[in-house]
Every structure is written in structure tokens, then in C-alpha cells.
């Protein structure tokens, strides 16, 4: 897979995630600037956090103006065509699953390339995928969906883990990347379709604090 193709896929993932941020912003009645901030945060916070943690400064999303451009584009389209984007909910969810798959495998590869140990490389891949959604939700004071949603982070972790395992077993990167992305996308797709989710702990009927 060429470097150029990877960049295109990365920007596509950013665009899709930025859409989810912009939708949240419009729903919470933020102004245009707020919507653009949520677009950028949802599209790039995962990758930025990963880059800060592995010491790759300035983060790609800051150094390369194209990440900013696609994030703004997603925000502006959503702001002025909100009804349209809302109606596209199914396509949006599918491309979100695709974005998650891509970010997870790309994030794991970048972490491996910076010499992280396998367990942390897999986790940083997952973080690349879920970080944007976490910041998006924290900014509108909502408990991050990913902490409660059906197999969202687990799908990302599975995809990233496959990349890391492929690296340990010296499988060609293109193969493990494709396999990881396919597994992540597949798991997420099945979770949406069949409502798969992780267990919650038994708290003996105790209510969460308000």
C-alpha cells in the first residue's frame, strides 16, 4: 500500500469522524465556531493524543494543513446541510465504522514504528480510533459514548491487535493491515446490526449517582 493511499484513507477517516463531531455540535445548539471545534476535535484528537504520547511533535494533524481542511469541510457541510446529513444516518454509521477501522490499524502501525511495546501499540491504535469521540463528548459534558457503547472500542482494539500480532509474526504489513481493518469493520458492523455489547457489572441494584 503506497504512502499516498494511506494518506487518502487517513483523511477520509478524519472527514467521517469530523462529521460525527459536527452532528453533535449542531444537536447541542453550538454556534458555527463550536461546530467546527467539535469537528476538528472528533476528527483529530485521537491521532493528536497518540502523537503526543509517542513524542512525535508536532502531531501530523497539526503539521499538515489537509487534516484541518477536511475537518472544516465536514463541519461546514453539516452546519449548512444538517437535515441532509441526519437523513444519511445509516451511511454515516457505516463510514464511521470504516474510519474506526482505518484509524485503529494506522495508529497501531505508527506506534510500532516508534518502538512502543506490543501491548501499548495495540492500545494506542485503539486510542487513535476512540480518542476523538471521547473529547467530542467531554466537550459537550456527556459521558463518552464509547465507554458504554456496543463493541466500539473492542472492535478498534481487535483491529489494532491484529496489526501488532502480524508485526510479531513478521507477516507482510499490507496483509495484517487489511486483515485488522476488516476485522474491526466487521465486528463493528455486526455489533450495530445485532446490538452486541459488553457486559455491565452487577451492582446489586445500586443506582448510579445523578
Q: Give me the residues that bind its own copies (CB under 8 A), please.
A: 25-35, 37-38, 48, 52-55, 57-59, 62-65, 68, 78-80, 82-83, 114, 116-117, 119-120, 123-124, 134, 138-144, 146-149, 153-154, 197-204, 206, 208-209
Q: Residue 173 burial (CB < 10 Å; 0-12/13-18/19+)?
A: middle
Q: Tell me how far, at minimum, the Cβ of 126 lies from its own copies, in Å.
A: 9
Q: Tell me how far, at minimum, the Cβ of 42 lies from its own copies, in Å.
A: 13
| CA dihedral (176, 178, 184, 186) positive or negative | negative
Q: Tell me how far, at minimum, the Cβ of 196 lies from its own copies, in Å.
A: 11
Q: Which is nearer to its own copies, 99 or 131 (CB)?
A: 131
Q: Give the CA distances from residue 148 to residues 55, 176, 187, 202, 208, in Å, rounded to whole numbers and listed in that order.
A: 30, 28, 16, 15, 14
Q: Which is nearer to its own copies, 86 or 174 (CB)?
A: 86
Q: Which is nearer to its own copies, 98 or 134 (CB)?
A: 134
Retrieve residue 59's grid coordinates.
Answer: 502531531
State whether residue 206 is helix, strand or coil.
coil
Say what the alpha-carbon torsion angle 146, 149, 153, 155 is, to the nearest 10 degrees: -150
| CA dihedral (85, 77, 83, 137) positive or negative | positive
Q: Tell me how far, at minimum, the Cβ of 172 lies from its own copies, in Å.
A: 26
Q: Tell me how far, at minimum, the Cβ of 174 lies from its own copies, in Å.
A: 26
Q: Which is nearer to its own copies, 5 or 207 (CB)?
A: 207
CA-nearest of 111, 118, 123, 114 to 154 is 123
Q: Which is nearer to its own copies, 84 or 174 (CB)?
A: 84
Amino acid at each position: 500500500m503506497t504512502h499516498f493511499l494511506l494518506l487518502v484513507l487517513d483523511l477520509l477517516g478524519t472527514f467521517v469522524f469530523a462529521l460525527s463531531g459536527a452532528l453533535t455540535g449542531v444537536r447541542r445548539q453550538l454556534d458555527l465556531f463550536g461546530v467546527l471545534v467539535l469537528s476538528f476535535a472528533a476528527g483529530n484528537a485521537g491521532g493528536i493524543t497518540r502523537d503526543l504520547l509517542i513524542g512525535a511533535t508536532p502531531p501530523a494533524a497539526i503539521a499538515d494543513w489537509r487534516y484541518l481542511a477536511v475537518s472544516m469541510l465536514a463541519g461546514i457541510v453539516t452546519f449548512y446541510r444538517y437535515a441532509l446529513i441526519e437523513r444519511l444516518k445509516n451511511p454515516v454509521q457505516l463510514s464511521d465504522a470504516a474510519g474506526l477501522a482505518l484509524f485503529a490499524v494506522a495508529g497501531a502501525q505508527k506506534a510500532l514504528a516508534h518502538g512502543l511495546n506490543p501491548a501499548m501499540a495495540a492500545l494506542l491504535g485503539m486510542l487513535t480510533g476512540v480518542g476523538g469521540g471521547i473529547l467530542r463528548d467531554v466537550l459537550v459534558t456527556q459521558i463518552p459514548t464509547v465507554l458504554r457503547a456496543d463493541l466500539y472500542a473492542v472492535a478498534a482494539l481487535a483491529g489494532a491487535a491484529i496489526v501488532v500480532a502480524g508485526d510479531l509474526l513478521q507477516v507482510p504489513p499490507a496483509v495484517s493491515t487489511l486483515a485488522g481493518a476488516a476485522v474491526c469493520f466487521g465486528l463493528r458492523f455486526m455489533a450495530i446490526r445485532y446490538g452486541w455489547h459488553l457486559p455491565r457489572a452487577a451492582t446489586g441494584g445500586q443506582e448510579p449517582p445523578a
